[in-house]
C-alpha cells in the first residue's frame, strides 16, 4: 500500500483551476520534489494533502486514511508538515519547540515522557541542533530556525514528511545540508515531499518529481525523466537553452 | 532548585502585595475589625480579579499568537461590563446565575465580534486585531455611558462600577467568581500544550495535532469565563491582562505550562498592589484600581509598541 495516494485532486481559488485531476502516489523511501512557477499551486497542494485546506474534488489517503476525517492527533502521528516560514513573537527555546512535535503523542495534563524527550533529543542530534537546545528560536539565523522546525517534524515520528520551500532564503551550504538530510530520511524508509525552487537542488537526491505547470496541467514521474531540460523549460515557460535550467539530470 | 526560582519570586511578590493591601488605608493597622471585615474581603477580591485577568491575558496572547491582546483591548471586558450594567438596570441580582450567564454572553459576543472583524480584515497577528478590539469596546463603552446618562437615579454607583474598582465586595459574588476563575484556570492548565502549539500559529498547530478551530473556541470560552467573573467583582479593569504575561515571561519563559500559573499569580499580586496603592496614596480619597492600572498600563502598552518598531534589534 502506498504511504500517500492522491487521486484526481481538484482545487481552485477562483474560477480558474489551480489543480485539476492531479494524481500521484508516494511509497516509503521516495523523495519527491514539487517544482513549478509561482502561483502554480505548490504550497496549496501540500496543505490539501494534510487536509488543512479542503479539496474541491478527488481524494487523499495517508496509509489508507483520509486526513480530513481523522482526529488532529492521528494526522500528526502519520504526517509532519514544515511550513516555508514559522514565526512567533514568543521566545521558545529550541528544545521546547522541538518537544512540541510530540503534541500529537503526549496527552493533556502530564508533562513529556522519557520517550518524548528521547525522540526530541534524537531529532536535535539528527539536525545538528543539540548545542543550540537552550537558545531562543528568535535569536537563530533563518537557516538554523528552518532546521528547528524540521527537527520538530522529525520528533513527530511520522513516516510522511512534507516541506514547503525548506531551502528558500538559505545559503548554499544549508541548502546542501538540508537536501542531504532529507535524502537520508528517505533512505531510512520515510516518504519525503518538498516544494523546491531550484531544479539543481532537486537533482540532489530526489527520485520522484511532480511538475505543476499552472492551470491544472502537471507531470509526475521518476526524477530522471521529469528533470530534463526540455521538461523543465516547458514547466517554467523558458527557452530550452536557458542557463537557469542547468544541464539536465546527470545519470549516475 | 533553579527551575522553581521564578515561582518563588512570584509567590513572594504575591505575599508582599497581599500584606500591603491588608495594611493600606486611612486607619492603618490600628483597627483589627477594619482589617478583617473590610480589607480582607477586598484583598481577596483583588487577588481573584487580578488572577483572572492575568490568566485571560496569557490565554488570549497565546491562542491568537498576538502579544498585544488582552481582555481589555479585545473588548471582552467591555462586553462583560455592558451586559452587567444592563442586568443591574433590569434588576437582575448580582448573585443570580442569570447575571453570570449574561455577563459571560456579553464577554464572549464582544470577543468573537472583534476576532471576526480582524479575521475579515485579513491579518490576525497584528494591529488589525487591536483596531477591531478598540472599535468594539469603544462602541460598547459609549452604549454603557448612554445608558448611564439616561438612567440617572442609579447611575452614580454604576459609574464607579464601570470605572473599575473593588468597593463593596459581596461575599457570595466573591465566592462564585473565585470558583469560576479556579475552574477556568484548571481547565486551561490541562491544555497547556495545545496553547503552546497555537502560539506557533494556527497552521502549525493543526499539523502538530491540535484542532485550531476547537482550541480557539475552548480558550476563548475559558478566557471569557475568567474575565466575566472578574468584571462581576470589580468592573472594567484594564491592562492587568496585557502587562502580566509580558512581565512574568521574563522569568517563567513563554511555555504555557509555567506561564499560565505564573500569570495568574502575577496578575493577583499586581492588582492587589494597585488597589492598595489607590487607597494609600491620597488618603482619605480613594483612587479606583482601574485608574491606577491605566496610569501604569498605558505607558507599558506604548513601550510594547515602541519595542516592536521595525528597526528594533531582532
Q: Per-domain residue ranges for chain B?
A: 2-18+40-305
Interface test with B, best of A100, A134, A145 (most B CBs within 10 A): A100
DSSP secondary structure, A34-57, as one string: EE--TTSSHHHHHHHHTTSS--SE
Mean pLDDT, all residues of chain A: 89
**Residue B89: per-residue pLDDT:** 85
**Residue B312: per-residue pLDDT:** 53
Q: Grid coordinates in use for B290?
A: 482601574
B35 touches B29 (CB < 8 A) = yes
Secondary structure letter of residue A231 according to DSSP: H
The residue-averaged pLDDT of B219-240 equals: 92
Q: How far apart are CA B117 and CA B131, in angstroms?
A: 9
B260 touches B185 (CB < 8 A) = yes
Q: Does the structure show a pLDDT above 80 at A22? A: yes
Secondary structure letter of residue A5 according to DSSP: E
Q: Does the structure show a pLDDT above 80 at B228? A: yes
Out of A52, A72, A100, name the one closest to residue B200 (CB): A100
**Residue B309: per-residue pLDDT:** 67
> What are the tens digits of pLDDT across the range B240-264?
999 999 999 988 899 999 999 999 9
Q: How far apart are CA A85 and CA A163, in angstroms?
A: 10
Q: How far apart are CA B199 and CA B206, in angstroms?
A: 12
In chain A, the largest separation of any two C-alpha atoms, in whole Å, equals 60
A191 touches A26 (CB < 8 A) = yes
> What are the tens digits of pLDDT across the range A129-171?
999 999 999 999 888 999 999 999 999 999 999 999 998 878 8
**Residue B71: per-residue pLDDT:** 93
The residue-averaged pLDDT of B265-276 equals: 94
Cα dihedral value A14, A16, A21, A24, nearest 10:
-80
- Chain A residue numbers touching B253 (CB-CB < 8 A): 91, 93, 96
Q: How far apart are CA B179 and CA B47, in angstroms?
A: 13
More confident residue, B190 or B283: B190
Distance from CA of B193 to the nearest CA of A (A): 7
Q: How far apart are CA B35 and CA A21, in angstroms?
A: 76
Q: SS3 string of chain B?
A: CHHHHHHHHHHHHHHHHHHHHHHCCCCCCCCHHHHHHHHHHHHHHHHHHHHHHHHHHHHHHHHCCCCCCCCCCCCHHHHHHHHHHHHHHHCCCCCCHHHHHHHHHHHHHHHHHHHHHHHHHCCCCCHHHHHHHHHHHHHHHHHHHHHHHHCCCCHHHHHHHHHCCCCCCCHHHHHHHHHHHHHHHHHHHCCHHHHHHHCCCHHHHHHHCCCHHHHHHHHHHHHHHHHHHHHHHHCCCCCHHHHHHHHHHHHHCCCHHHHHHHHHHHHHHHHHHHHHHHHHCCCCCCCCHHHHHHHHHHHHHHHHHHHCCCCCCC
- Chain A residue numbers touching B263 (CB-CB < 8 A): none
The end-to-end CA distance of chain B, in Å, is: 31
Q: Grid coordinates in use for B9?
A: 519570586
Q: Does the structure show a pLDDT above 90 at A62? A: yes
CATH topology of domain B2-18+40-305: ABC transporter involved in vitamin B12 uptake, BtuC (1.10.3470)
- Chain B residue numbers touching A96 (CB-CB < 8 A): 196, 253-255
**Residue B270: per-residue pLDDT:** 94
- Chain A residue numbers touching B210 (CB-CB < 8 A): 72, 103
> What are the tens digits of pLDDT across the range A191-238?
999 999 888 888 888 999 999 998 889 999 999 889 888 888 888 888
Residues of B with CB under 8 A from a CB of A: 65-67, 190-191, 193-194, 196-197, 199-201, 203-204, 206-211, 249, 253-255, 257, 314
Tell me the CA distances in angstroms from B73 to A20, A187, B236, B239, B287, one per residue in order: 45, 51, 11, 8, 22
Split at pLDDT 50, 70, 90, the class of B268 is: very high
Tell me the sheet residues that pair with A220: A210
Distance from CA of B235 to the nearest CA of A (A): 30
Secondary structure letter of residue A144 according to DSSP: H
**Residue B153: per-residue pLDDT:** 65
**Residue B250: per-residue pLDDT:** 86
A105 vs B: CB within 8 A: yes
Q: Grid coordinates in use for B30?
A: 490600628
Q: How far apart are CA B77 and CA B51, in angstroms?
A: 15
Q: Grid coordinates in use for B306?
A: 515602541
Q: Enter the pTM of the model.
A: 0.91
The residue-averaged pLDDT of A84-101 equals: 92
> What are the tens digits of pLDDT across the range B80-122?
999 999 898 888 888 888 999 999 999 999 999 999 988 887 6
> What are the tens digits of pLDDT across the range B27-78?
777 777 777 777 888 899 999 999 999 999 999 999 999 888 899 889 999 9
**Residue A185: per-residue pLDDT:** 94
Interface test with A, best of B123, B207, B258 (most A CBs within 10 A): B207
Q: How far apart are CA B91 and CA A39, in angstroms?
A: 59
Cis status, amide bond into A203, omega within 30 of 0 = no
A73 vs B: CB within 8 A: yes
- Chain B residue numbers touching A86 (CB-CB < 8 A): 200-201, 204
Mean pLDDT, all residues of chain B: 87
Q: How far apart are CA B71 and CA B184, in angstroms?
A: 15
Q: Between vectors from CA A98 to CA A184 and to CA B192, what angle results, nearest 5°?
A: 150
**Residue B310: per-residue pLDDT:** 62
- Chain B residue numbers touching A156 (CB-CB < 8 A): 208
For residue A58, report the phi and psi dihedrals to the nearest 5 degrees. Answer: 85, 180
Q: Which residue of B has its CA nearest to A152?
A: B208
Amino acid at each position: 500500500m502506498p504511504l500517500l495516494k492522491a487521486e484526481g485532486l481538484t482545487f481552485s481559488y477562483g474560477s480558474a483551476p489551480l489543480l485539476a485531476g492531479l494524481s500521484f502516489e508516494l511509497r516509503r523511501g521516495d523523495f519527491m520534489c514539487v517544482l513549478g512557477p509561482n502561483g502554480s499551486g505548490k504550497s496549496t497542494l501540500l496543505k490539501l494533502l494534510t487536509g488543512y485546506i479542503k479539496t474541491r474534488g478527488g481524494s487523499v489517503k495517508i496509509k489508507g486514511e483520509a486526513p480530513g476525517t481523522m482526529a488532529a492527533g492521528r494526522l500528526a502521528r502519520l504526517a509532519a508538515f514544515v511550513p516555508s516560514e514559522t514565526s512567533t513573537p514568543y521566545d521558545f527555546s529550541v528544545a521546547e519547540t522541538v518537544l512540541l512535535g510530540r503534541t500529537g503523542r503526549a496527552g493533556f495534563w502530564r508533562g513529556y515522557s522519557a520517550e518524548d524527550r528521547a525522540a526530541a533529543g534524537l531529532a536535535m542530534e539528527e539536525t545538528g541542533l543539540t548545542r543550540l537546545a537552550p537558545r531562543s528560536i528568535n535569536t537563530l539565523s533563518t537557516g538554523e530556525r528552518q532546521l528547528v522546525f524540521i527537527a520538530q517534524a522529525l520528533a513527530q515520528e511520522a513516516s510522511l514528511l512534507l516541506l514547503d520551500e525548506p531551502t528558500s532564503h538559505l545559503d548554499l551550504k544549508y541548502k546542501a545540508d538540508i537536501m542531504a538530510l532529507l535524502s537520508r530520511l528517505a533512505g531510512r524508509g520515510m516518504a519525503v515531499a518538498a516544494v523546491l525552487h531550484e531544479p539543481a537542488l532537486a537533482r540532489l537526491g530526489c527520485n520522484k518529481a511532480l511538475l505543476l505547470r499552472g492551470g491544472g496541467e502537471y507531470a509526475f514521474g521518476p526524477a530522471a525523466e521529469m528533470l530534463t531540460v526540455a521538461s523543465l523549460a516547458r514547466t517554467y515557460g523558458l527557452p530550452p537553452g536557458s542557463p537557469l535550467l542547468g544541464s539536465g539530470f546527470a545519470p549516475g | 532548585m533553579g527551575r522553581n526560582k521564578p515561582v518563588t519570586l512570584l509567590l513572594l511578590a504575591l505575599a508582599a502585595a497581599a500584606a500591603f493591601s491588608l495594611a493600606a488605608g486611612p486607619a492603618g493597622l490600628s483597627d483589627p475589625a477594619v482589617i478583617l471585615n473590610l480589607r480582607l474581603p477586598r484583598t481577596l477580591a483583588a487577588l481573584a480579579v487580578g488572577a483572572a485577568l492575568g490568566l485571560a491575558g496569557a490565554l488570549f496572547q497565546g491562542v491568537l499568537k498576538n502579544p498585544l491582546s488582552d481582555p481589555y483591548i479585545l473588548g471582552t471586558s467591555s462586553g462583560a461590563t455592558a451586559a452587567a450594567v444592563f442586568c443591574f438596570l433590569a434588576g437582575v441580582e448580582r448573585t443570580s446565575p442569570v447575571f453570570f450567564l449574561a455577563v459571560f454572553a456579553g464577554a464572549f459576543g464582544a470577543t468573537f465580534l472583534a476576532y471576526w472583524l480582524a479575521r475579515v480584515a485579513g491579518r490576525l497577528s497584528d494591529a488589525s486585531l487591536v483596531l477591531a478590539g478598540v472599535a468594539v469596546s469603544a462602541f460598547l463603552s459609549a452604549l454603557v455611558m448612554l445608558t448611564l446618562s439616561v438612567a440617572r437615579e442609579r447611575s452614580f454607583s454604576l459609574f464607579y462600577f464601570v470605572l473599575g474598582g473593588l468597593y463593596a465586595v459581596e461575599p457570595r459574588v466573591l465566592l462564585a467568581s473565585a470558583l469560576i476563575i479556579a475552574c477556568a484556570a484548571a481547565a486551561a492548565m490541562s491544555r497547556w500544550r495545545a496553547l503552546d502549539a497555537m502560539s506557533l500559529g494556527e497552521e502549525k498547530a493543526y499539523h502538530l495535532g491540535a484542532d485550531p478551530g476547537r482550541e480557539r473556541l475552548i480558550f476563548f470560552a475559558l478566557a471569557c469565563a475568567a474575565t466575566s467573573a472578574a468584571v462581576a467583582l470589580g468592573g472594567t479593569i484594564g491592562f492587568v491582562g496585557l502587562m502580566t504575561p509580558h512581565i512574568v515571561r521574563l522569568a517563567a519563559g513563554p511555555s504555557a505550562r509555567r506561564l499560565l500559573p505564573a500569570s495568574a499569580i502575577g496578575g493577583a499580586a499586581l492588582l492587589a498592589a494597585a488597589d492598595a496603592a489607590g487607597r494609600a496614596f491620597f488618603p482619605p480619597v480613594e483612587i479606583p484600581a482601574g485608574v491606577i492600572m491605566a496610569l501604569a498600563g498605558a505607558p507599558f502598552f506604548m513601550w510594547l509598541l515602541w519595542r516592536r518598531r521595525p528597526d528594533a534589534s531582532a
